[in-house]
């Protein structure tokens, strides 16, 4: 089994693996499984992440070598909270900006992904591009509420005045949700202004600030 080719290893191990699953798939010892992961990593086919239990998980694919990225990668670059992509979609040939990653996070309606994405407001500079993305996805108020929540725990880029004016809710707009069914106990002022319910409470943002300060 030591002589197995890289091409065959990719074919047999492509996907999400652990040392135990590699041992099972190749019917090899733990030491040999580690060795084969090492071989694939040398060629750029392996990305490694740690679970909340501090276990290593290996994402093995040919696309890893192409240096593709996804929106979770961009969020992880700036956020103290690390997240995994909710899909296998990869972007090649260009580096998406924080504006696109923020819209992805809002559309996901995923609590952890949204919380992690607050750090993107420290990097956003292209407000016209963000406005177009938010408008086309009907997410203007959600972004405004998240921005004001982010400012409670960190310094952010200053929002352009014209941008803010254009995303404020129109008179009589009904309340909406960022995450269906979740409301804040602490940010009622933000919710009233944007007419959208904030999914975070002070304790969520307090923990976030502590991670930022480490």
CA–CA distance, 187 with 82 (Å, rounded to integer):
24
Asked whether residue 147 falls in the same domain as residue 181, the answer is yes
Tell me what the mean pLDDT of segment 150-176 comes to.
Answer: 92
| Rounded average pLDDT over 105-112 | 94
Residues 75 and 62 placed together within one structural domain of the fold: no
Confidence grade of residue 116 (pLDDT, cut at 50, 70, 90): very high
Do 47 and 22 share a domain, yes or no? yes
Q: Does 192 have pLDDT greater than 90?
A: yes
In a domain, 1, yes or no: no
Confidence of residue 137 (pLDDT cuts 50, 70, 90): very high
Same domain, 33 and 103: no
* Domain closes at, from 66, 85, 118: 66
Classified as helix, coil or strand, 69 is strand
Among 37-41, 92-96, 151-155, 208-212, the minimum mean pLDDT is found in 92-96
Tell me what pLDDT residue 89 has.
60
| CA 102 from centre of chain | 8
**Above 90 in pLDDT, residue 211?**
no
112 token code pair: 């952890």
Overall domain count for the chain: 2
For residues 143 and 136, is the Cβ–Cβ distance under 8 A?
no
Q: How would residue 208 be classed by pLDDT, with cut points 50, 70 and 90?
A: confident
Question: Is 185 within the bounds of a domain?
Answer: yes
Per-residue pLDDT reduced to its tens digit, 41-87 = 888 889 888 877 778 899 998 777 766 678 888 898 888 888 876 66
Please check whether residues 115 and 191 belong to one and the same domain. Answer: yes
59 and 89 co-located in one domain: no
pLDDT band at 168 (very low <50, low <70, confident <90, very high): very high
pLDDT over 70 at 2, yes or no: no
Answer yes or no: do 79 and 151 share one domain: yes
58/91 same-domain check = no
142 vs 48: which has the higher pLDDT: 142
Query: Where does a domain end: 17, 46, 66?
Result: 66
For residues 65 and 61, give the distance between their C-alpha atoms in angstroms, rounded to a whole number.
8
Question: Are residues 173 and 188 part of one domain?
Answer: yes
Residues 9-16 have a mean pLDDT of 90
Question: Which neighbouring-strand residues pair with 197?
Answer: 177
Residue 198's pLDDT band (cuts 50, 70, 90): very high
Residue 134: give the domain boundaries: 71-213
Closest CA to 146 of 114, 176, 175, 100: 114
Q: Out of 30-44, 88-102, 137-151, 157-171, pick the least confident.
A: 88-102
Cα–Cα distance, 109 to 139 (Å, whole number): 12
CATH no. for residue 23?
1.10.10.10
Same domain, 199 and 95: yes
Same domain, 111 and 195: yes
């Amino acid at each position: 089994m030591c002589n197995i080719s890289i091409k065959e290893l990719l074919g047999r191990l492509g996907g999400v693996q652990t040392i135990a699953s590699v041992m099972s798939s190749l019917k090899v010892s733990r030491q040999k499984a580690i060795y084969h992961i090492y071989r694939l990593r040398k060629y750029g086919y392996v990305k490694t992440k740690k679970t909340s239990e501090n276990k290593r998980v290996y994402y093995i694919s040919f696309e890893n070598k192409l240096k593709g990225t996804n929106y979770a990668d961009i969020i992880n670059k700036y956020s103290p909270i690390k997240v995994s992509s909710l899909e296998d979609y990869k972007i090649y040939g260009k580096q998406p900006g924080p504006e696109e990653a923020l819209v992805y996070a809002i559309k996901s309606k995923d609590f952890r992904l949204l919380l992690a994405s607050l750090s993107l407001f420290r990097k956003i500079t292209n407000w016209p591009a963000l406005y177009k993305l938010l408008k086309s996805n009907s997410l203007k108020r959600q972004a405004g509420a998240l921005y004001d929540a982010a400012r409670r725990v960190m310094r952010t880029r200053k929002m352009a005045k014209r941008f803010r004016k254009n995303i404020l809710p129109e008179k009589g707009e009904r309340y909406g949700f960022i995450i269906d069914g979740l409301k804040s106990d602490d940010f009622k002022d933000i919710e009233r202004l944007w007419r959208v319910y904030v999914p975070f409470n002070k304790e969520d943002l307090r923990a976030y600030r502590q991670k930022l300060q480490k």
